[in-house]
Amino acid sequence: MSIKARFKVLVALLIIVISMVSASMAAAAVATYTYDELNRLKRVDYDDGTYIDYTYDEIGNRLTTATNAQSDTTPPMGAVIINGGAAATNSPAVTLSLTCNDANGCAQMQFSNDNATWSAIETYVTTKAWTLATGDGTTAVYARFKDTTGNWSTIVGDTIVLDTAVPTTNASPGSGIFATAQSVTLTCADGTGSGCDKVYYTTDGTTPTTASSVYATALNVSATTTLKYFATDKAGNTGGEEPNVHHRRHPADRGDNHQRRRHRHLNRQCDLGSLCLRCQWCRFHAVQQRQHHLEQPRGVRDEQGVDLAQRRRQ
């Protein structure tokens, strides 16, 4: 067989091999064909990233063929992190941090909230805005990545607690009037949310902020105090301000009613004609009270609007 005949045979075999490769690739993937100005096949691109390039001589004979078919079967390695690895969030709008590693580079990616319904395929980037599934509680985001040769990574994911409920705070004991100093405790509750973080408070009636004192131990209230407080949780939710007023009344400070009852009691003792020193003091005090009543002009009222003369007669 002449050299020319052998060359023709080799060319024929090469064409057959290329045709077989092209046929197998076409059966496995969708192809896009590109032609030159003479309507000759110039390139075939497949959706899995593989391709075939064709070149021709001056008279139209196909000279060379280049392909990357079956050059990479190793899938990329990827990862997704929600909000920088935060444990909880109070908003369904989050930021995904993405990584993808592959010898030939990463090209595309997809996402899902339930590992069943996936977003449209998009170009690979390292960050993406994403919306979590609705409803408070632990929620997940899934991702997968595709390299430049069409290999898809295994599905990866991350979780975060979505918590949109505000925490509440309770003071014990609550508002009231007390004869002795009180030890007031503040208790935060966050239900099934992310958990309480801090309780801020003031004891001078001013509105508390995150710059106010942070509750740690029970508060000793020994005078009339307006206690205001609010709580924050680990997702960043802030509870509403809750005021409590604790009144401290000393045992010796029991008001005019108590003094009037005491005077009437002593007067009744004096009416019995006792010669005890206590009753002698009572009689003297009664005389002084009557004298003051006679000297008090009628029609004069105190700051509460009570007639002074009438009050003295009581």
Number of domains the chain contains: 4
Give the number of other CB atoms < 10 A from CB of residue 201. Answer: 22
Going by their DSSP bridges, the two strands 176-178 and 242-248 should be labelled as parallel
Tell me if 72 is assigned to some domain.
no
- The pLDDT, as a whole number, for residue 274 is 37
CA atoms 24, 26, 27, 30: torsion sign: positive
Average pLDDT over residues 224-242: 91
Residue 226 domain boundaries: 168-248
312 compared with 211, residue with greater pLDDT? 211
pLDDT bin (cut points 50, 70, 90) of residue 231 is very high
Q: Using the 3D structure, point to which of 226, 248, 270 is the last residue of a domain.
A: 248
For residue 9, name the pLDDT band (cuts at 50, 70, 90): low
What's residue 43's pLDDT? 87
Among 162, 192, 217, give the residue marking a domain's end: 162
Same domain, yes or no: 211 and 229:
yes
Against a cut of 0.85, is the pTM above it?
no
Looking at residue 73, its pLDDT comes to: 84
Q: Is residue 146 part of a domain?
A: yes
| 241 and 187 share one domain | yes
Domain termination site, one of 208, 224, 248: 248
Residue 53 included in any domain: yes
The answer to whether residue 20 is domain-embedded is yes
Residue 38 domain-assigned (yes or no): yes
| Radius of gyration, CA atoms only, the chain | 45
Q: Is the domain of 81 the same as that of 148?
A: yes
Q: What is the CATH number of the domain that holds 208?
A: 2.60.40.10
Q: At a CB cut-off of 8 Å and minimum separation 6, what does 54 contact?
A: 40, 41, 42, 43, 62, 64, 65
In a domain, 260, yes or no: yes
Q: Do residue 172 and residue 158 come from a single domain?
A: no
- What are 18's two structure tokens? 């290329």
Please give the Cα distance from 142 to 150 (Å, whole number). 19
pLDDT of the residue at 267: 43
Give the mean pLDDT of 6-19.
63
Q: Which two tokens stand for residue 274?
A: 């006792």
User: Smallest Cα–Cα separation from 103: which of 143, 67, 144, 149?
Assistant: 149
Question: Which tops the pLDDT comparison, 215 or 266?
Answer: 215
> In what order do the strands lie in the sheet containing 156-162?
88-89, 156-162, 137-147, 106-112, 122-123
> pLDDT tens across 24-70, in order?
544 455 888 999 888 888 888 877 677 788 888 888 888 767 666 55
